[in-house]
Structure 1
Amino acid sequence: MRRPALRKRAADARSSARPAAARRPAIAGAAKRLRAPGQGGLSGRALAFLLVLAVLSLSYAIPVRIYLTQLAEIDTMTQAQEAQRRHISSLEEEADKWNDEEYVRIQVRKRLYWVQRGEIPLIPIWGDAIDMGKPPTKPAPTTWYETLMSSVDAANG
């Protein structure tokens, strides 16, 4: 009694595993369907995989951004350090020049207009080349409070 029931279940399992087009004959002249109407979308596994990829990419994006920012900061600091080294070396060269007596003598003659005994001092005066003792001119005020303060200064003076 069990045997016919087992055979029937096995036959049902086999027939349900086959596509519907293979189970019944097609009508004469009808086009054969190659794909079932519900197929073609993303499966559950594919959606889960895409979700995992999106979460991983978002979780790696922030550390990568921080890493790249730190690399840029390191590069900026390295360039600033190199510029500072160049500045220090130029200052050391300048200090070495001031240890030379001849350089000091030239600078004193040039900046302070000192002359040796017996020399006639000749100082050329070309516009802004020498400070004539004039007070510095202030730029024209541009805002209302600068105008107010300049008029208060003018009234006091």
Structure 2
Amino acid sequence: GLRALDQALEALGDEVQAHIHFQPFELNPNMPAEGQDIKEHIAEKYGSTPEQIESIHETIRERGAELGFTFAKGERRIYNTFDAHRLLHWAEQQGKQYALKQALFEAYFSDLKDPSSHQTLADVAQKVGLDRLRAQAILDSGEYTAEVREAEQLWTS
């Protein structure tokens, strides 16, 4: 999705001036800390068979490859992403929200990293030029919790 949007905006050139601002939205706000196997989750939530799930994943991998993005094969888990949204809120203030979002997608989809892990989140923040110690302090505290919850409510009400 994001890679396709990037390419579409690039193709439009100067015809469109776009500023992308990511809003927090948790797909699975009640997901336990250890996450859940994604195939198990999809089967439970949508009633999909293993064959249907694999077919969908293959289609997604092919589309990603067409756009220059790698969706890794392998066992994947789905996690709660609230702490990632807190970091994205802070990253926007630092002018690095877009870079962090891209790097988080890569960490999860390409490298099969856990986006709820504070270690992963701090690593990714540092990778895009954010202060690792500040990122860790945010993650270790409840900082930006109220702001992110408020934004979530705005977009889900």
**Bigger radius of gyration, 1 or 2?**
1
Same fold per superposition (TM over 0.5): no
**What TM-score do you get using the length of structure 1 for normalisation?**
0.16
Greater relative contact order (CA < 8 Å, ≥ 6 in sequence): 2
**What TM-score do you get using the length of structure 2 for normalisation?**
0.16
